[in-house]
Structure 1
Amino acid sequence: MVFYKGIAISGGKDSYTMAWFFCLFQKHAGWIHVNHNWSVESLNNAFLLHSFGTGIKQKICTVVIKREQTETKSRELRYLSWLHIANIENYTSIETAHHANDSIESIIHFFLRGSLSSGIHSKLLILSTSFPTVKIILNRPILHWAKWQVETLHWNWQIPCIKDLTNNMLYIKRNRIRTQLIPFLAYFYNPFLEKSLWNLTRNNK
């Protein structure tokens, strides 16, 4: 039996690198791009991504969703979009480019919410009442890679990418955690903060 994978690709270094990795070693895979309409650059992002995908004969599906102000609602719509495409394309899993540094952000995010019980594992099952018969495994194949390792592969392979301007939007909580809170804690409290938190994510399985 052939298992088809959906590759979630945003257009940044992380997802492009993972997508290219699958192009090299996994033939039965298609790209899924969710356009959140967060900025004008979203359209340019989608256009360039399609141009690159078409150039290497890669199948790609794009879903455009309405802009949401909350991360939680955006994530719900993104997951629903993945399920919709997976149902159409018969994908058995969705692969995302979350890496170790993302897990560090997640553990702080969940800690601030008073929970460490979810969101940082390598595999999750995503379900929706909109698609009651569809059960998709959410894989995070590069979860144990540090961001510098992903960037090294990206540079070595000379993969194109698009600068995600939404990473600079400080009204998004994760951006504040990454650009403000983590550097502050590392500077004033623990210079090895990221390593310590990464060890914590590995123990929280």
Structure 2
Amino acid sequence: MLSKFQNHIVNRFPFLGDKKLFLAVSGGLDSMVLLHLLQQLPYEIAVLHCNFQLRGLESFGDQDFIQNYCQNNNIEIFTTQFDTEAFAKDYKLSTQVAARELRYSWFYELLETENFDYILTAHHADDNLETFIINLSRGTGLEGLTGIPEQNDKIIRPLLPFSREEILQYAQDNAIEWREDSSNASNKYLRNKIRHDLVPILKEINPNFLSAFQKTQSYLQESQEMVEDASIMVYQQVAKEVGDDIHFDLNQLKKLPNYHSYLYQWLNEFGFLAWNDIYDLVDGQSGKQVLSEEFRLLKNRETLILSPISVVDESEEYTIEENESEVNFPLKLKLCQVDDITVDSNKAIFVDAEKIRFPLVLRRWKEGDFFHPFGMGGKSKKISKLFKDEKLSLIEKENVWLLCSEGQILWVVGLRQDERFKVEKASNTILKIQLQ
């Protein structure tokens, strides 16, 4: 196995040769074999061990075992202890998810502070099979069937081609000691039920099942790569990135024979779960939206707009003093006196400086706000009606700022100036306010 492992790691991960590597070691069979294998090869390694304090004295026994092994073999080790159950309770997570969150957060922190390059974990072929079955049982897209990735950012899993049987045989041949996790014997967890009850039946039906499964998964991975390539090509025809937002042209989208699949491929990484609601948006009413924890998908006429969710505080206000010529937050504005009006653009306004009173105030719009649009002879108009006339999306409305003088709206910034502050023939001083 050592020779096979060495060839695999050299062929698949040749860039590891001069890197500093952390090994995540629990003390169990798989991670102890990975540690032993890496000790035989010329890599610079150190061990990471998390004590999740979930099995009482057994957890501390694991920690002592790893620390003693590393001390006896002159291997640098980093350990930490987590109150996993308290963390899971505080953040309303399952124990397994909480442990994963804590573990990988600590891993990445150490990569940064200790200047290491990668973290190696001991996931193997049987883990991959179990993950496949779990995803299959819960319902998943193609990416859920492609299994555990060999590399995910800084996490590398060099044992994925090896079965649990191969790993056990190597441990026995090399008299490797390890710790048994008592929780692995319980069928309390779904993964253990699959491991103890289902996988043995599959291997009984076909003794070469694991090998056949690995071939099938290789084909699935190739198919996923083809899907991703096609998705990128179609994305360039349908989507347009506008600042932090992505606009999907529904007229182009509907021409696709299976646009549901493309939407899933594009939006899956943004945390959406209500896929039927998303598909219904395509033909839904303008203004409807679907939310994930951090993103929003909005139907705006013939466009779907994906944007980060931002919390709008209607009480948010910023003042501009008379001596300020530039403002950099929350908008970039430039204020200066000019001799005449030279530009007619929504990005700049010209006002009679004697009609305004400082400090000016930049604030969010509120329901019920009204102003007197320039060019309408002094008639008032609700800001909400202006938005409707301008056909602004919900997201665009949320990003509108009002520039006010003594409570009166001077400018719906970037859209329309107020009539009451316009420059007239009798005006002595002209102030230009420009949105940068």
Shorter-normalised TM-score: what interval?
A: 0.7 to 0.9
Identity over aligned residues, as a percent?
Answer: 25
* Distance change >3 Å, CA 63–CA 176, structure 1 → 2: same
Q: Which whole-Å CA distance do the structure 2 matches of 1:73 and 1:26 have between them?
A: 35
Task: Classify the secondary structure of the residue corresponding to 1:57.
Answer: coil
Secondary structure of 2:84 counterpart: coil
Once residues 111 and 211 of structure 2 are traced to their aligned partners in structure 1, the CA distance between those partners, rounded to angstroms, is: 35
Displacement of 1:185: 5.0
The 8 Å contact of residues 32 and 61 in structure 1, kept in 2 or not, is answered as yes
Q: Do residues 82 (structure 1) and 97 (structure 2) align?
A: no
Once the two structures are superposed, the pairs formed by residues 20-35 of structure 1 within 5 Å of their partners are 20-35=36-51
**Pick aligned residue for 1:117 from 125, 143, 166:** 143
Structure 2: distance between partners of 1:140 and 1:174: 19
TM-score normalized by structure 1? Answer: 0.84
Contact 2:18 2:43 survives alignment (8 Å): no
Equivalent runs, 1:128-147 vs 2, <5 Å: 137-147=154-164
**Which has the larger share of strand?**
2
Does structure 1 residue 71 correspond to structure 2 residue 96?
A: yes
The match for 2:53 is 37
Query: In structure 2, do the counterparts of structure 1 residues 149 and 184 end up closer, same or farther at CA, with 3 Å as the change threshold?
Result: closer
Please tell me whether residue 99 in structure 1 is matched to residue 124 in structure 2: yes
Alignment match, 1:181 = 198
Deviation string, structure 1 residues 123-181 (Cα, Å, up to 9, x no partner) = 112xxxxxxxxxxx111111101111111211122111111112123222211111123
1:22 match: secondary structure: helix
**Cα distance, 1:35–1:144 mapped onto 2, change above 3 Å:** same
1:39 partner letter: R
In structure 2, what is the equivalent of residue 62 of structure 1?
A: 79
RMSD over aligned CA atoms reads 2.0
Q: Is the 8 A contact 1:120 1:201 kept in 2?
A: no
Which of structure 1's runs of 4+ aligned residues deviate more than 4 A?
Answer: 184-187
Equivalent position to 2:189, from 166, 172, 194 = 172
Partner Cα distance (1:143, 1:26) in 2: 21
Match for residue 191 of structure 1 among 206, 227, 237: 206
Q: Output the TM-score relative to the length of structure 2.
A: 0.42
Structure number with the higher helix fraction is 1
State the aligned residue count.
192
CA distance in 2, matches of 1:89, 1:170: 38
* Partner residue in 1 for 2:409: none
Does the Cα contact within 8 Å between 2:29 and 2:179 map onto a contact in 1?
A: yes
After superposition, the Cα gap between the structure-2 partners of 1:142 and 1:96, relative to the gap in structure 1 and judged at 3 Å, is same
Report the structure number with the largest CA radius of gyration.
Answer: 2
SS of equivalent residue, structure 1 residue 97:
coil
The answer to which structure, 1 or 2, has the higher relative contact order (CA under 8 A, 6+ apart) is: 1
What secondary structure, in the 3-state scheme, does the structure 2 residue paired with 1:33 have?
strand
- Structure 1: distance between partners of 2:28 and 2:139: 30
Distance 1:16 1:198, change over 3 A: same
Contact 2:53 2:83 in 1 (8 A): yes
Deviation at 1:183, TM superposition (A): 3.0
